Structure 1
């Protein structure tokens, strides 16, 4: 049962169904994504049998943790999981010069990883900003999105320049705190 041209909207819908233990939805995702995931694992490990094991482990883990996972971009999540599992395996093995060269040059296809990462990061930033106090949101957006200087913001909102600076500092601290996990993730990519 091959699903041709599965899009991100369909994937999101299928993930929601999987979270409700819908095995048919899981099978659709598995059937559609197994091949590319297997190829990706093979390109890292250069061992067909081990690549199959890695991909199988990722799918088993996904099914077992389906209700606890909060995955917005499934393909990105799965490919990162494969890469990490492969790297962990390679780290613990002795490998040849070709494997070393391949490991250093590998990157996930930009249409899968980078685009999803940018969207996810943008969504997380907007979420953090939307949870700031209203005045802080306004000041931060004027400063960082509209590129208005602090003095002009202070004049526009009839507050002191120091208040503007404090609100921007608060917003930046919140962003740093909330996005620390994302920063770590992007550092290792």
Structure 2
């Protein structure tokens, strides 16, 4: 199929070619369609063109790497917008993790200088947490992120997702069990530190 013919295909048809045939020309067409509007969306949230470009690049790289497993349930545009939202969120959290780590250790009364390896490991665990959330069912993932990283109360989450508070609690328990089963045993202490940095009392 000539490159010019991809212009006439729908998003769904292009996604199918990418997933089933690993068609790079189809992927390029999707990239060309959504690069600019996604840059604008990320730019409005970050107020930084360079950061917006990096975020959009990360979203497309992730989409390509996980192309076989991704399910676009409604529209590609909606999927990409949601992906941008979470990538912006992860980018901001990654920037703040070092300061939060230092602040928490300082508050605890430690006077020994914090080792760069510890800060790096905390960042790596933070990134791993978000990778593990991708394995969670959709509602479970959303509840976990809203609760542990957006500091929303159980009642707020229940109202937003139109579920009961009891169901919110069940999803939080389930998400934490998934985390425990996925995180490496020797990393558990720093895993809990990262979570505690953003946890709140309901």
TM-score by length of 2: 0.43
Larger radius of gyration: 1
TM-score by length of 1: 0.46
